[in-house]
Amino acid sequence: MIGSEPGRRVIRKVGNWPRGSLLGSLPEPVRDEMLGLGRPRQFTTGETLILEGDRSTDVFLLVDACVKVTANTESGRVALLGIRVGGDLVGEFAALDGLPRGATVAAAGPCLVQLISQDAFLGFLQRSPEAALAVNRAVVNKVRWTTRRRVEFGTFSTPTRLARVLVELAWSYGEPVREGIMIGVALTQPELAALVGAADPTVHKTLTLLRRQGVLGTGYRRIVVHDMRRLQAFAGLGDNPLDYEVPA
């Protein structure tokens, strides 16, 4: 079982971003220029970067961070829409269209970000076609991620949905360790349940099954995939799910 007690994540990696992130996909000169935009800001665990409905237009470039993206539903519940980590960009939708924020973004641990104004962000995209293409690709991937989740809710069982999310997290945010691939995102069991739209007991049962079969190991806010092929098979995916990555 994954622990749900409050904890802090140590800022430990700057300059080594996941392959699925925006910074991880940019050429070094373009990446360096983007990192020079705006000003650095730090946020503590639970602190809000972006508030749903707000009219601000700043962009947050996550240098070393883990944040959770949530939104209020019509039923009054809070839905966990996604996870973003170091190398990702959040807030670009409002900067691009000027509409109110569509979701809340909160720090899941100590965060270091570059706070970039709308003018600086748009100016950078205008003079850097490579950056503009990368940001467009990231936006498209986010839309695809949302579409996949909606399709899966009505098509696949909870265990399959959970396995697919774990595969995506491992491919995009995984870190090689002695036991396999550690998912570099600290998630509690209730947060995993919210991410796949399932009840906590069902997620717990699925994790227990995967753990007993040797597919993965779990600990306090820690998941290590021991056998990626078997996890992909459990998720109904092929041997190369690169087209199914978690977007930046």
Question: With contact defined as beta carbons under 8 Å apart, do 81 and 87 qualify?
Answer: no
The pLDDT score that the predictor gives to residue 12 is: 44
Question: Mean per-residue pLDDT for 177-187?
Answer: 83
Cα dihedral 193, 151, 90, 216, rounded to 10, equals 40
pLDDT band at 1 (very low <50, low <70, confident <90, very high): very low
* Domain 22-153 sits in CATH 2.60.120.10: yes
As a whole number of angstroms, the distance between CA 78 and CA 107 comes to 16
| Architecture of the domain whose range is 158-244 | Orthogonal Bundle (1.10)
pLDDT bin (cut points 50, 70, 90) of residue 154 is low
Q: Are 91 and 19 in contact (CB under 8 A)?
A: no
Max avg pLDDT among 7-21, 63-77, 147-161: 63-77
- CA diameter of the chain: 53
Query: What's the token pair of residue 59?
Result: 């962009």
pLDDT at 82: 80
> pLDDT for 120-147, tens place per residue?
999 999 999 999 999 999 998 888 877 7
Q: Which helix (H) or strand (E) holds 147?
A: helix 129-153
What count of Cα atoms within 13 Å lies in the side-chain half-sphere of residue 167? 25
Q: How far apart are CA 18 and CA 15, in angstroms?
A: 10
pLDDT digits (tens, 9 = 90+) for 217-246: 988 767 999 999 999 999 888 665 544 443
Model confidence at 199, in pLDDT bands (50, 70, 90)?
Answer: confident
Domain ranges of the chain: 22-153, 158-244
The predicted pLDDT at position 78 comes to 76
- Quick: pLDDT tens for 186-198: 677 887 887 777 7
Residues counted in the chain: 248
pLDDT, tens only, 36-92: 999 999 999 889 999 999 999 999 999 988 888 888 878 777 777 888 888 999 999
Answer whether 105's CB lies under 8 Å from 50's CB: yes
Q: What is the mean pLDDT of residues 101-119?
A: 93
